[in-house]
Amino acid sequence: MTTIRLGILGAGIMGERLLRAALEHAADVVQVSGLWDPAEAARARIAEALPGVAIAADAEAVVAGCDCLYIASPPASHLAHARAGLAAGRAVLCEKPLAVDPVAAREFAAEVRGARIAVNFPMASSPAVAQLRDWIAAGAVGAPRTLDIEAAFAAWPRGWQRGAESWLDRPEQGGFTREVLSHFLFLTGRLVGPFRLEDAFAAFPEPGRSERAARASLRAGDVPVSLLGSVGTTRKDDHNTWTLQGPNGAVRLRDWAIAERLGADGAWQPAPDAVPNERARPLILRRQLQAVAAMTRGEAHALATVAEALAVQEVVEGILAAR
């Protein structure tokens, strides 16, 4: 089966991460046909670090040369690039959120029904998430009673995101609710069911910067969901848990990639094959790219849909608006 030509718009952290995954872990699945970023310094960095990658003259050239367009630019540009890719007959993989404006995202979702487009929530390809699903299906939880989502950061942006503060730490496009908590809302929809926001609050103590605390109460079907996020409340760069409890026990996802089950002794037991996120990421990204290739060919895949991404964004923006 021939490889899929993948064009990349955006050479920031996420763009480079998927680019390297394509080159190092999925070269038999995708071929990077071209990359472009509006920042000359970003293009120069990629050209020096990865001289085999074709640097395109502009976004239009990336679209013209690919089978699937990966959009890893800041959120405000997502919809314009996605429309350009779809109009050219390309499949599209877009970073979340779909847009910075929920109304615009809603209109876009209605516009692209049936199109070859997905949103990059890597938990769709996570072995740990598959383990949680298996445990839940086997009755490890029973009928879910509560779901708790917590995320804490030593600082925002996280250490490895320094250099992206110009948008990642601004209330218009950035913040940990959009960047991190959104993944766990996606996970909630996949494993528990459709969710709705009931109550929320977000704190923006530093003018011009993104939120430093957020809390929300939701319902996923009949299951009450508690969500908490905070900056400066841990020494860890990034710590998170997604914990589902029921009459039979509890399961959780910890620190992105470790599936755990509550034992009879009250201690959390990791899955036998659990590995930290740094080790899990190459496999997850390879699986994501395999699914991207399937989507591009018009085949079945498990990537996040636009409808799923829109449901996440509606709640995220509702939380951030509750100041």
Model pLDDT for residues 230-243, shown as the tens digit of each residue: 999 999 999 999 99
Written in H, E and C, the secondary structure of the chain is CCCEEEEEECCCHHHHHHHHHHHHHCCCCEEEEEEECCCHHHHHHHHHHCCCCCECCCHHHHHHCCCEEEECCCHHHHHHHHHHHHHCCCEEEECCCCCCCHHHHHHHHHHCCCCCEEECCHHHHCHHHHHHHHHHHCCCCCCCCEEEEEEEECCCCCHHHCCCHHHHCCCCCCCHHHHHHHHHHHHHHHHCCCEEEEEEEEECCCCCCCCCEEEEEEEECCEEEEEEEEECCCCCCCEEEEEEEECCEEEEEECCCEEEEECCCCCEEECCCCCCHHHHHHHHHHHHHHHHHHHHCCCCCCCECHHHHHHHHHHHHHHHHCC
Tokens of 308: 């799923």
1 pLDDT above the threshold of 80:
no
8 Å CB contact between 237 and 154: yes
213 pLDDT above the threshold of 90:
yes
CATH code at 209? 3.30.360.10
Residues 171 and 317 in one domain: yes
Confidence category of residue 323, pLDDT binned at 50, 70, 90:
confident
Residues 183 and 229 in one domain: yes
82 pLDDT above the threshold of 90:
yes
Residues 189 and 208 in one domain: yes
Confidence category of residue 24, pLDDT binned at 50, 70, 90:
very high
CATH code at 19? 3.40.50.720
Residues 108 and 178 in one domain: no
Residues 133 and 242 in one domain: yes
164 pLDDT above the threshold of 90:
no
8 pLDDT above the threshold of 90:
yes
Average pLDDT, rounded, for the chain: 96
What span, in angstroms and rounded, lies between the C-alpha atoms of 127 and 138? 16
227 pLDDT above the threshold of 80:
yes
Position 219 scores a pLDDT of 98
Tokens of 219: 């319902």
Residues 97 and 237 in one domain: no
Mean pLDDT computed over 92-110: 95
By residue count, the chain amounts to 323
Position 36 scores a pLDDT of 98
pLDDT (tens digit per residue) in 104-132:
999 999 999 999 999 999 999 999 999 99
Residues 243 and 97 in one domain: no
Q: Which domain holds residue 100?
A: 4-122+282-303
Mean pLDDT computed over 265-282: 97
Position 162 scores a pLDDT of 79
153 pLDDT above the threshold of 90:
yes
In the chain, the percentage of residues whose pLDDT exceeds 70 is 100
Domains identified in the chain, total number:
2
What span, in angstroms and rounded, lies between the C-alpha atoms of 155 and 140? 35
Confidence category of residue 100, pLDDT binned at 50, 70, 90:
confident
pLDDT (tens digit per residue) in 57-79:
999 999 999 999 999 999 999 99
Amino acid at 293: A
The vertex-229 CA angle with 225 and 230, nearest 5°, equals 155
Residues 209 and 261 in one domain: yes
Position 142 scores a pLDDT of 98
